[in-house]
Amino acid sequence: MTDASALPGQPRGQVLSGPATERAVNVLAPNASAMTLDGTNTWIVAEPGSEAAVVIDPGPLDDGHLATVVDMAEKAGKRIALTLLTHGHPDHAAGAARFAELTGTRVRALDPALRLGDEGLAAGDVITVGGLELRVVPTPGHTADSLCFHLPADRAVLTGDTILGRGTTVVAHPDGRLGDYLDSLRRLRSLTVDDGVHTVLPGHGPVLEDAQGAVEFYLAHRAHRLAQVETAVEDGYRSPAEVVAHVYADVDRSLWPAAELSVRAQLDYLSEHGLIQPM
């Protein structure tokens, strides 16, 4: 059995519903799959002693899960005052409108199409609810609308799909772009170096205790895959499907369609930087 402390980011262990930090509680959605890992982590975040809470990523449109989120907040003496989205993929956001009905909350997101209410989210926004402070960190790359939320009081960052608790994420081409994603990882690295962030509260998978180690692993992994894709093209593998079969031969074939999205993003990046001929 592998020691979790030796794994990238030092994952905490089994993914469970319950407290993760002093201010953040996870409610695990029942939508486990190869792509969603154990399921979507819906986060309830609140300042200790406050009656107001923020929910980040209500998750899929599953009335049972949404009711559980409300129930867990109420049992902790919290009223859900605001809903936030890290991005618009259905496993994070499909339940947001229904959740807003259940709680009477606004939904704030970067993408105007996902918002319920007048306020969106933008780089540099600071959200304060019941004494809680969350800082909006733009992290495009997985998708164009991806955001993270810095929780300074817990020295933590809620990362959606930008960093997962296990494995690596997909650059969802064409909406996601590799150059943007690399910039976003560097932005998160600066949070670990300059702002003391040490905990990753991901959208899927376990909590990570070593945020800087996780970011460094992701950057190294992307550099390695990019070099593999460039070499594959030089060796005559031309189509994205051919590159996937060659480079991702060690990956479960059920994940190849997702891997092809990342490969397309990598091919675009290499072409834009003049490292390969446009395909």
Domain spanning 18-211, CATH architecture: 4-Layer Sandwich (3.60)
pLDDT of residue 276: 87
- pLDDT one-digit tens code per residue, 23-48: 999 999 999 999 999 999 999 999 99
pLDDT of residue 279: 62
Domain residue ranges in the chain: 18-211
CB contact at 8 A, 162 and 171: no
Per-residue pLDDT averaged across 65-79, rounded? 97
> Which residues is 115 bridged to in the sheet?
none
The SS3 of residue 224 is helix
- Quick check: pTM over 0.75? yes
Q: Is the predicted pLDDT of residue 3 greater than 90, yes or no?
A: no
CB contact at 8 A, 57 and 28: no
Token code pair at residue 173: 């081409």
pLDDT band at 75 (very low <50, low <70, confident <90, very high): very high
Per the annotation, the verdict on 62 as an active-site residue is no
β-strand pairing of 107-108 with 41-45: unpaired
Q: Which residue has the tokens 């991901």?
A: 202
- pLDDT one-digit tens code per residue, 221-264: 999 999 999 999 999 998 999 999 999 998 889 999 999 999 99
Q: Is the predicted pLDDT of residue 78 greater than 70, yes or no?
A: yes
What is the residue-averaged pLDDT of the chain? 95
pLDDT of residue 1: 38
Q: 80-116 as b/e, with b when 16 or more CB fall inside 10 Å?
A: bbbbbbbbbbebbbbbbeebbeebebebbbbbeebbb
Annotated catalytic residue within 62, 91, 180, 268: 91
The SS3 of residue 243 is helix
The SS3 of residue 85 is coil
pLDDT of residue 6: 74
- Helices 211-234 and 256-272: crossing angle, nearest 10°? 80
What residues contact 71, with CB distance under 8 A and at least 6 apart?
A: none
pLDDT band at 65 (very low <50, low <70, confident <90, very high): very high
pLDDT band at 5 (very low <50, low <70, confident <90, very high): low
Count the neighbouring beta carbons within 10 Å of the beta carbon of residue 37: 20
